Structure formats: structure tokens, C-alpha cells
Structure 1
Amino acid sequence: MNRAEKAAIQLQAVAVLRMLKQSRTYDELASLTGLPAGDLNRYVNGHVLPGVERAREVVGGVGHDELARELHARIRVDSEGYVDNSGVVFDQSFLDLVAPIAADTFEFETPDVVLTAATDGITLAAAMASYFGARLAYAKKSKETAVEEFIEARQRLQSGIELTYYLPASAIDANDMVLVVDDLIRSGETQELLLDIAASANADVGGVFALIAVGEEGVSRARELTDAPVGALTQLEP
């Protein structure tokens, strides 16, 4: 690990601790993390950075669990099972915390492109792309007027509706490593379409990630379609 990578993980740990501190005292934060309250005070207030190993523990352990709880607390599900995650997908600072923790938890291959579907997945994809230093690409249900060549993926849904996504062909190159992300995975139909786009571009898939999994169906379906890691930050009952 070079100096820049060490600094990045240390700063990520500080960002996680500052998020956790918003709703906790230092004693409560110490109980949660197992770290001394005095050290936490110095980290949160920017007086000193945690060591690399301690930073890894915060990002990979405490960070994942507490971000999942925070995410779950922001989700609203109505009586018909529709998920309102606007309290998350509109909070870019929260999504910026999710990216390194997702990368550390699921050990995705470092992507050249982060691919999502318009529109709710775009803010998460932007955070993931920024973290990895990758390009951002998003497929849409309509063609851009000025673009001449597209990659298309089409599927007939269980409801009988045919869904088609279009991505400008220049967005992904052959042999690019692609990370597929979305805000929510339920049936896995959208993820299958995105994986089809990656396959049509002769790209490799480094992982599939969603903020929220509703039930097991979508995650299981994605795992059948790729050998890459598949995961979600939190899961809801269908």
C-alpha cells in the first residue's frame, strides 16, 4: 500500500467516525468501536489520523454495520411494498461513505467503468466511480438523439412488458472491467439487462452492488449470471 492509499483509508475512517458521532456521545462511540474516547475525539476533530490498521477496522467492520443501520433507518416502505429511498439517493455525502465500505466488504475488482441504469442509481454510481477513479456510464430507456451507435439490452418482464435499455457504444470498451451498481435490487431484471450490456460490449464484470436488496430473488439471479461478487448494503423482507 502506497502513501496515497494509506491516506485514503485513514480519511475514510475519519469520515465514517464523524457520521457516527452525529448521533452519539464519545462514550457511546467508544463502546461501539472499541476505541478509546480520547482517541476518537482527536480523530473526529482532525487533530490526528488513525493508524492504517485501525482505519481498516473502522471502514471494514464498524463502518459497514452502522452504515447499513443508518440506511435502513432512512428507508420508508409503504403498505404495498414500494420502497422510498430518496433520503439516501439524494444524500451524496452518505453515498460517498458507502463506496469505500462496499469496495472493502465485497472485494470488487477495480473497475474501469461503473455501470448503472437511469435514474435513481446514478448518484450511487457517481460515488463509486469517484472512489475507484473510474468512468461512469448509465443506460437509459430511450436513445440519445445525437448518438449513432448503441448497445441494446432487451427483456420481457414477468408482467409481459418489454423493457429495453440503451447505452452509447462508446461508453464501454472491450475488455473493460465493469462494476454494475443500482440503488435497489428486487427481481434482478435490471441487473440482468446491465450484465447483458457488459457482455455485448465484450467487457469483464468485476461485481454487482446495490444499496438495498428486497428479498433474495434479485441477488440470487445476479449470482447465477456472474462469477463476480454480488452484494447489497442492507436487505429488506419482500
Structure 2
Amino acid sequence: MKRLEKTTLQLRAVSVLRRLKASRTYDELAAETGLSASDLNRYVNGHVLPGVERAGEIVEDLGRATLAAEIESRIERNEDGYVDNTDVVFDQPLLDLVAGVAAETFDFERPDAVLTAATDGITIAGAMARHFDVPVVYAKKSRETGVSEFIDARQRLTPGIEITYSLPASALDAGDDVLLVDDFVRSGSTQQLLLDLADRAGAVVSSVFTLIAVGEDGLDTVRESTGAPVVAFTRLPEASEPDMYPRT
């Protein structure tokens, strides 16, 4: 591990501890982490950084659980069952931390590009792209008039309803290794379209990552469409009503 990577990991561990400390005393945090209250005080207040090995343990053992709990606490559902994740996807510092923790937790390899769908997926995809220092490209439901060539993917959701996403043909090169990222998956339809776009561009999807998944059906649908690993940072229970959680 290079020196910059080590320092980044150490700072990420401090960020995780600070989020935990916001709702705990040092004694409570010590009981939860197994670290001494005096060490935690020094880490949280920036006097020293945890060692690289300890930082890795903090990020892997506490990071995902801490951030997943915070994400779940910010999600709201109205009386009709619609999911509002605005308080998550609008918080760029939170997503920047999630991206680093997810990369460590799921052991993603550095891709050539991150692919997502406009619009809510852009913030988490951008965070992941910054983590790896690679471009982020996103498909849209409309075409830009100044772009001359597009790749399209279409899927019929129900009789009479079809969804289309378009990607500038120059956005991905043949052979590119792509990390597919989205903020939300329920049915898996959007992610299937993104997989189709990557395939049409001649790119190879190495992993599929979603910030939030509702149930397992959508994840299973995506897994059936690709041989790449498909993972979710956090999951919500499936709704009892069939028309609830309409996000795709």
C-alpha cells in the first residue's frame, strides 16, 4: 500500500469514529470498539492517526455498519409507501465516506470508469469515481442535441410502458472495465439497462454496487443479467404492498 493510500485509510477511519462519537460517549464508544477511551479521544480530536492495521479494522468492522445505520435513519417513507432518500443523495460528504468504505469492504478493483443513471445516482457514482480517480459517465432518459452519436437501451416494463436510456457513444471505450453504481434498486430494471448499455459499448462490468436495495428480488434480477458481483451497501425490508417502493 502506497503512503497516500495509507494516510487516506487512516483519515477514513477517523471519519467513521467521529460519526460514531456524535451519538456516544467515549466510554460507550470504547465498549463498542474495544479501543481505549484515551486512544479514541486522540483519534477523534485529530491529535494522532490510528495505525494502518487498526484503521483498516475500524473501516471494515465499523464503517459499513455505522454508515448503513445513518443512511437508514435518513430514509423516509410516506403513507403510500414511496421512498424518499433525498437526505442521503444530497449529502456529498456522507457519500464520499460511503464510497471509500464500500471500496474497502467489497474490495472493488480500480475501474476505468464508473457508470450510472441520471439523476439521483450521480452523487454516489461521482463519489466512487473520485475515490478511484476515474471518469464518471451517466445515461439519461433524454438525448443532448449537441451529441451526434448515442448508444440506446430499451426495456418494456409493462404493456404500453417502455423505458429508454441513452449514453453518448464516446463515453465508454471498448474493453473498458466499468463499475456500475446506482443509488437505489428495487426491481433491477434500471440496472439491467445500464448493463445493456455497457455491453453495447463493448465495455466489461466488473462489479455492480447500489447504495440502497429494497428486498432481494431486484438484486437477484441484476445478478441474473451479469456474471459480475452485485452488492448493496444497505437494504430495506420489502414492502407488503406490491405497488410500494416504485423506484426502479
TM category (shorter chain) comes to over 0.9
Corresponding position of 2:237: 237
Q: Distance in 1 between matches of 2:159 and 2:12?
A: 43
1:59–1:160 CA distance, 2 compared to 1 (3 A): farther
Corresponding position of 1:36: 36
**Contact persistence 1:106–1:229 (CA under 8 A):** no
**Contact persistence 1:212–1:233 (CA under 8 A):** yes
Give the drift of 1:159.
5.8
Q: Distance in 2 between matches of 1:183 and 1:158?
A: 23
> Counterparts of 1:1-238 in structure 2 under 5 Å?
1-158=1-158, 160-238=160-238
Computed over aligned residues only, the root mean square deviation of the Cα atoms, in angstroms, reads 1.1
Residue ranges of structure 2 left out of the alignment (5+ in a row): 239-248
**Contact persistence 1:186–1:215 (CA under 8 A):** yes
1:158–1:216 CA distance, 2 compared to 1 (3 A): farther
Q: Distance in 2 between matches of 1:227 and 1:57?
A: 29
Residue type matched to 2:20 in 1? L
Deviations 1:168-215 (A, max 9, x none): 111111111111111100000000000111111111112111111011
Q: Distance in 2 between matches of 1:197 and 1:132?
A: 22
1:114–1:163 CA distance, 2 compared to 1 (3 A): same
Task: Give the TM-score of the pair, scaled to structure 1.
Answer: 0.97
Counterpart secondary structure, 2:108? coil
Counterpart secondary structure, 2:158? coil
Residue ranges of structure 1 left out of the alignment (5+ in a row): none
Give the drift of 1:138.
0.8
Counterpart secondary structure, 1:213? strand
Q: Distance in 2 between matches of 1:23 and 1:57?
A: 21
Deviations 1:72-112 (A, max 9, x none): 11111123221111110000011011001111222223111
Q: Distance in 2 between matches of 1:159 and 1:59?
A: 46
Give the drift of 1:63.
0.6
Q: Distance in 1 between matches of 2:32 and 2:160?
A: 48
**Contact persistence 1:110–1:206 (CA under 8 A):** no
Q: Distance in 2 between matches of 1:100 and 1:224?
A: 27
Q: Distance in 1 between matches of 2:224 and 2:160?
A: 22
Q: Distance in 2 between matches of 1:23 and 1:158?
A: 46
Give the drift of 1:160.
3.9
Q: Distance in 1 between matches of 2:177 and 2:30?
A: 39
Q: Percent identity?
A: 64
Deviations 1:43-71 (A, max 9, x none): 11111111111111111110111111111
Task: Give the TM-score of the pair, scaled to structure 2.
Answer: 0.93
Q: Distance in 1 between matches of 2:36 and 2:158?
A: 53
Residue type matched to 1:124 in 2? I
